[in-house]
Chains A and B, each alone.
Chain A
Amino acid sequence: MRLELLEYYLLHYEDLPRCAQASLEWLARHAGVRRSICLAMDGDAGLLVGVAGVGVSADDLEEYSAPLSHTHDPLVRALTAPAPTTLRSGRDNGLARHPGFGSASVLAVPLRGDRHDDGDAVGLLLVKAGTPVTGSVNWLATVLGQKLDQIRGRGSLTEELRKLRRERALFFTIINSVTDPIMLTDTEGRLIVANSRAEKLFAATEEESEGRRRAVELNNMLFSAALSRTVVEAPSEARELLLVDPSDGSDLLFEVLSTTVEDPREGTGIVSVLRNITDLRRATEQIEENYQRLRVAESAVRAERDRLNLIIDSVADPIIVTDQSGATVLMNDPSEELFTVAAEAPSTAQRTVQSNDAHFSSFISGLLLGESGPGEIRRGEIGLMNPLSGEPIPVEAIAGKVLTETGELTAVVTILHDRREALERTRLYEQLRVASDELQMRVQSATAELATQNELLRRQAIELEQASRLKSQFLANMSHEFRTPLNAILGYTHMLLQGVAGDLPANIRRQLTRIDSNGRHLLTIINEILDITRIEAGKMPMQVSEFNLNELVPEVMTELDPVISRSKLTVTSRLCADAPVMISDRQKVKQVIVNLLSNALKFTHQGGIEIGVDFDASSRIATITVTDTGIGIAPEHHDKIFEDFRQVDDSPSRQYGGTGLGLAICRRLASALGGRITLQSRLGEGSTFTLTIPAEAPQ
């Protein structure tokens, strides 16, 4: 190994800095001394200067420059010391520190040449204090000292050094100014020269953190691997290399361009330029992602637009969307029929389309220019025409603004609603209204006429009522006037029959009896007419009292006993065990029963008569039935007999007497009592008259 150094570097290199540099690098490789500086004496300039360094920067190296005249300078002193000297930090060397070594103490090993036996060294090898001064170090110090001495003897070190330093400084300035890491490595990837960017990735000192060193180690491995592939596979092609950022551990992606260089002295090396494409890649990915997103959004928009178009086209009313300048952006099919026309269409159609367009434009211009409130809707009527048929189409236009989130007008949507149907409806409605008005007028006039008629009828009714009242009054008066003479006739006849004028011959008595009976008959007629008159004149008011039918019926029978006895008929009564206390007009009820029983007696020649009393508790209706075995009444005469002055036989020669007013009075009385009289009878099979009245008479 030592031979290697001697052979390749010390023998071949003739300039001092290179030789020193190679030595130090050898020391780093083989003795593990990762940081070292070589100082050499420049006799002409009288300076001790740094000529080479490993693990230190060029700037640091330049800091080492001590005039030899400064014999108190620790470095100068170390030069003359017989053995290696330890220089403590800060104090011993006059400098604030040992550049390149930080605050650590430095071991200065004198380098001595063969020619100077006086013992003065020609240079110093600075290593970190505490570095074991192994055989390798001592050996190198000896070899390097001799080599430096040889070279020094051949020419001016200072001149050469200055030139070299300038070149070197320039070189580092250049490569450091490149923002991409640049480095020269051997074929195994070991660093020979690197700019500061590369050093950050691939070099770490002992002092640096564990993580950082590990990252650097990893980067070196990755780079070596990449480099070997490059050399083997495709020497001049760019490759991507993923490294770790030692400062924060993040991934860094580089594009590596490596070129193999051949140097006759240094052998084969590889220059690599690493271009950081991490951001580029990220940006690319971002762009890719955005592009995908855009594609998706675009397809969604397209689908949305298709759907919107479908909807808009399916609307029967024309829809037009215009932008803020009034230019048409979108229109549906019905719209197109109004606002577009084929180029080959007749000129009239072209003009109509232009006219339609002008109408529409003037309509929305108000909305575009005018006062713009959000959500403002403009309505208006536009007279359009069908371009093909020339038929006028009145439309109602409803336009609304479409605003952006910031409230800027982006579009106006207008819907045109064909008003022909509405107008037609309005026209029909108007017709209907006219017809309705006419009808109403007719109804009103008819109603007025009806009211007139009603008024007329009302007056007639009043007149009739007056006439009826006059008739009743007349009859009442008449009956009174009848009675006065009748009173005298009956009175004198009676007196004569009573024998006031003495005994009468039988024939005269018989004749007087005729006068008497006819007079009585006449009185009955007059009384009955008076009854009807009184009822009709309302002069027979209800006299309500409590009574019992089970007592009233025998009373009637007793009253008519003379007639019953004369008739030789069996008259029986069938009373009711639960007959109620009637609250009604006793006199009127009695009059009806008397009348019905009198009739039964009159029209029955053999057999019997039964008066029955019944009561229905649930409806509180009482019934009095008078059933005879008399001549009966044919059904066709059932209604007739209840009429005034009517008997079944109305002829002057009729068999049965009576006024024919009895049932008519009964009917009126029953009605006044809140009830009615019904008849069940057939000719020759007797009759049953039924009086039906409520237990409580209506008030």
Chain B
Amino acid sequence: MTTEHGPLILVVDDYQDAREMYAEYLQYSGFRVAEAKNGNEAVAQARSLKPDLILMDLSLPGMDGWEATRVLKADEETRHIPIVALTGHALAGASEGARKAGCDSFVTKPCLPDDLVVEVRRMLNAVKQG
């Protein structure tokens, strides 16, 4: 059910099972999907592909999600791309840290694929309207 014309979502996660699960469900839900497994890849992909939205896991090897977000939000070319942070750290302050780094939204894992798609659609609509 891959759609050629759906919005492009960049899924950044070092855990392959989770990354592929979300990618598969997003494609199933009508989005185009690109994947990155660390911060560096995420920044490179974002710059080359200019996705409509980035799903960013924050705990990443090498350059982590916060750092990658800061880099992208500091870049004229990529700063308009909404970034939805994904984190397994439900501790208080995690979302605050993510917003400070420049994330536009925040989702706590575990997050059912269905719920994630709801959030992605909401963010895209917000961008469209904004």
Contacts and interface: CB of A to CB of B under 8 A. Distances in A.
B89 interface: yes
Contacts of B113: 491, 494-495, 498
Interface string B85-128: 00011111100000000000000011111100000000000000
A491 B22 contact: yes
A435 to B, nearest CB: 61
Contacts of A495: 21, 24-25, 28, 113
Contacts of A487: 18, 88, 109-111
B17 interface: yes
Contacts of B111: 487, 491
A483 B110 contact: yes
A429 interface: no
A134 interface: no
Contacts of B28: 495, 500
Contacts of A480: 88-89
Nearest to A543: B92
A134 B79 CA distance: 185
A534 interface: yes
Interface in B19-59: 21-22, 24-25, 28
Interface in A467-503: 476, 479-480, 483-488, 490-492, 494-495, 498, 500
Nearest to A530: B90
Contact of B17 (A488, A523, A534): A488
B35 to A, nearest CB: 15
Contacts of B24: 495, 500
A500 B25 CA distance: 8
B29 to A, nearest CB: 9
Contacts of B15: 484, 488
Contacts of B25: 491, 495, 500
A539 interface: yes
A487 B111 CA distance: 7
Nearest to B22: A491
A541 interface: yes
Contact of A492 (B21, B91, B109): B21
Interface in A514-565: 523, 527, 530, 534, 539-541
Given A539-B91, A540-B92, A486 B110 contact: yes
Contact of A484 (B88, B92, B112, B114): B88
Contact of B114 (A476, A485, A494, A534): A494
A523 B113 CA distance: 16
B21 A488 contact: yes
A534 B91 contact: yes
Contacts of B91: 476, 530, 534, 539
Interface string B4-20: 00000000000101100
B17 to A, nearest CB: 4
A491 B117 CA distance: 12
Contacts of A484: 15, 18, 88, 109
A484 B28 CA distance: 22
A557 B103 CA distance: 33
Interface residues of A, number: 23
Contact of A488 (B18, B89, B90): B18
A494 B90 contact: no
B23 to A, nearest CB: 11
Nearest to A490: B110
Nearest to B15: A484
Contact of B21 (A476, A491, A530): A491
B92 A491 contact: no
Interface in B52-97: 88-93
Nearest to A519: B110
A523 to B, nearest CB: 6
B10 to A, nearest CB: 18
A491 B18 contact: yes
A37 to B, nearest CB: 163
A487 B21 CA distance: 10
Nearest to B21: A491
Nearest to A498: B114
Nearest to B59: A480
B22 A534 contact: no
Contact of A534 (B88, B92, B109): B92
B98 to A, nearest CB: 15
Contacts of A530: 90-91
Contacts of A540: 92
A500 B26 CA distance: 11
A228 B84 CA distance: 168
Contacts of A486: 110
Contacts of A492: 21
A479 B113 CA distance: 20
Contacts of B109: 483-484, 487
A534 B93 CA distance: 12
A494 B89 contact: no
A15 to B, nearest CB: 172
A29 to B, nearest CB: 162
A491 B111 CA distance: 7
Contact of B88 (A483, A490, A491): A483
A491 B90 contact: no
Contacts of A491: 18, 21-22, 25, 110-113
B111 to A, nearest CB: 7
A335 B5 CA distance: 134
Nearest to B57: A484
Contacts of B21: 488, 491-492, 495
A484 B110 CA distance: 7
- The residue in A480, A487, A488, A498 that gathers the most chain B C-beta atoms within 10 A of its C-beta is A487
Interface string A34-54: 000000000000000000000
Given A491-B110, A494-B113, A495-B25, 10 more contacts: A479-B90, A487-B109, A488-B18, A490-B110, A491-B18, A492-B21, A494-B112, A495-B24, A530-B90, A539-B92
Q: Which 5 A-B pairs have the closest CB atoms?
A: A487-B110, A488-B17, A480-B88, A483-B88, A491-B21
Interface of B: 15, 17-18, 21-22, 24-25, 28, 88-93, 109-114
22 contacts: A476-B89, A479-B90, A483-B88, A484-B18, A484-B88, A484-B109, A485-B17, A487-B18, A487-B111, A488-B21, A490-B110, A490-B112, A491-B22, A491-B25, A491-B110, A491-B112, A491-B113, A494-B113, A495-B28, A500-B24, A523-B110, A534-B92
